Amino acid sequence: MNVVLLPGDGIGPEVIAEAGKVLAAVVPEVEISEHPLGSEAIARTGEALPASTLTACQGADGVLLGAVGSGDYSWSTSNPEDGMFALRRVLDVYANLRPFRAPGIDLLIVRELVGGLYFGVRGTRPDGTVFDTCEYHPDQVDRVLRRGFELARSRRGRLTSVDKANVLATSRMWRQRALALAAEYPEVELDHLLVDTAAMRLVQAPESFDVIVTENTFGDILSDIAAALAGGLGVAASASLADSGPGLFEPVHGTAPDIAGRGVANPTAAIRSVAMLLEHGLGRPAEAARLDAALDRVAATVQTPDQGGTATTAEFGDAIVAALATDPSEELADA
């Protein structure tokens, strides 16, 4: 097994260091290599996604990414986010999975990740008008909808497709494709919500959702709302999956430059992303469940400053490794 670490910017290197430590503790035989992406890569090579980094990612079984976006590189033709978007596009990780669990809440958002507004044609006209284009091909829509149906079928059998079909042509096509595919999944209950209604219902009744599937921009916004309901961005993980090739696993939070280098960042989201890497990237669901359970145990007693505690980033990671070494499920099996 070969996993590439991309520490990124800001607090990324700090949380990814702990994630790598935990991954090695769970699966000692994994081969781990580290490569630059984002501001650090621009500083070294002038490119946000160096060719050597891309080659390493393409040859990996999974890629674990920190966060990108800090630093002022206005002098460069590239910016840190360019590298992240290019990596997503080349790996074709079109299905972004964002699970959210809290008391009374167990929902999964499936966000289309390589199309729509963020990847459409953009520019400025001679009169000063600036434009961004939202485009989707039916094949792009079908594959992420299928992923949503399949995940819903493996959970509680309810899929909510979110669009803006009362206004947008892309959303009307999206809804038509969802209705057409529903016939192939009779065991899944499909409903449709406009994105504004979905946002309101997420706040009012998050427990009413099982799986939400939606396009790129809507998914970006709705997943942040869901994160706020389930402990905040600091503990939210994600998996971005392709139909073949390596997946991209990353915490949802940003680079947090205000606390970078202080050793106080909460690595929970990065370590949760390791659990998703184990399950969806390395085919090790038992180890993923073991890591999730260890995280739950540690989080109850060890808190970083954002959670009201005093533990450092490294101390939290060490506590996870220690919890894995004294896994009560293993002790029960031995008995």
Written as six digits, the tokens of 320 are: 């996870």
Q: Give the Cα separation of 275 and 280 in Å (integer).
A: 9
DSSP reduced 3-state for 214: strand
- Phi, psi dihedral angles at 148 (to 5 degrees): -65, -45
164: annotated active-site residue: yes
Q: Which of 9, 210, 220, 292 is catalytic?
A: 220
Q: Which of 118, 136, 185, 292 is catalytic?
A: 118
- Phi, psi dihedral angles at 13 (to 5 degrees): -60, -35
Give the C-alpha distances (Å, rounded to integers) separating 157 from 117, 149, 179, 191, 207. Answer: 30, 8, 16, 11, 14
224: annotated active-site residue: yes
Q: Which of 21, 82, 163, 164 is catalytic?
A: 164
Q: Which of 224, 306, 318, 327 is catalytic?
A: 224
Which of 2, 5, 94 has the alpha carbon at shortest distance from 273? 5
118: annotated active-site residue: yes
Would you say 68 and 8 are in contact if contact means Cβ atoms under 8 Å apart? yes
Written as six digits, the tokens of 45 are: 């090579």
Q: Which of 132, 196, 243, 296 is catalytic?
A: 196
Q: Which residue has the tokens 């050597």?
A: 52
Catalytic annotation, residues: 118, 164, 196, 220, 224
